[in-house]
Amino acid sequence: MTIIPAIDILDGKCVRLTKGDYSSQKIYCDTPLDMALLFQSKGFRRIHLVDLNGAGGDHIINRSVLHDICSKTGLTVDFGGGIKSDADIESAFDAGASMVTVGSIAVSSPDKVAEWAERYGADRIILGADARNGKISINGWKEDSQLDLFGFIRKYKSIGIKQVICTDINLDGTLQGPATGLYRKILAEFPDIRLTASGGVSSTADLTELKEAGLDSAIVGKAYYEGRITLDVMAAINDDKTDG
């Protein structure tokens, strides 16, 4: 299983939220590049980078941070937050993102996402299936749609998108453990997707549990920033690493 460290950006700084609540922000680092370089030094090859300002707005806001990390590290960056137009996705790829995560736009404009999958390749598009009580949430998790999580995944699997990041919003940032039961159900329904767990990870045991459940990868954020899991332990579990 690949362990993917997370960097969430708000106003240019590395922060974490609880359950997507912007008022709950806690700043962990003023310079996200420094955090990315630290992850790279520990042998990680990929990070999950989220523009929280963009996620809650109409377009990418923290592009300069994305460009800085992509140009000054050798990390594979999957980027999400604010990708809501052709200009946004072009900007993200031009800044160096290897993959982009689409969430709100996948709800509001499925034809546009299908077009992007054809233009850029379905392997570069990650479906952000972030759900609260079984329904997909949008616009920085400020709104809940009426779309069912499983139907949402099924729709995009039918056009060739196989990478899915699924967050149970009720667990995100809580350090109460991941939604392993939900992930098992998703994998039982869609055994050939590459499912990434996001939210709730609080311990090494949680990561072991996710690996045994068949997850392709797991995003770790607050557990590291709060000292619950060390980078060395995360690196030891990680199956996708450099010699760094």
Show which residues are catalytic.
Answer: 8, 130
Residue type, 238: N
Distance CA 215, CA 218 (A): 7
Distance CA 107, CA 171 (A): 22
Torsion angle in degrees (nearest 10) through CA of 179, 183, 185, 186: 140
195 neighbors 187 (Cβ within 8 angstroms): yes
Distance CA 156, CA 106 (A): 9
197 neighbors 206 (Cβ within 8 angstroms): no
Distance CA 220, CA 165 (A): 12
DSSP symbols for 194-206: EEEEES---SHHH
Q: How far is CA 141 from the centre of its chain?
A: 13
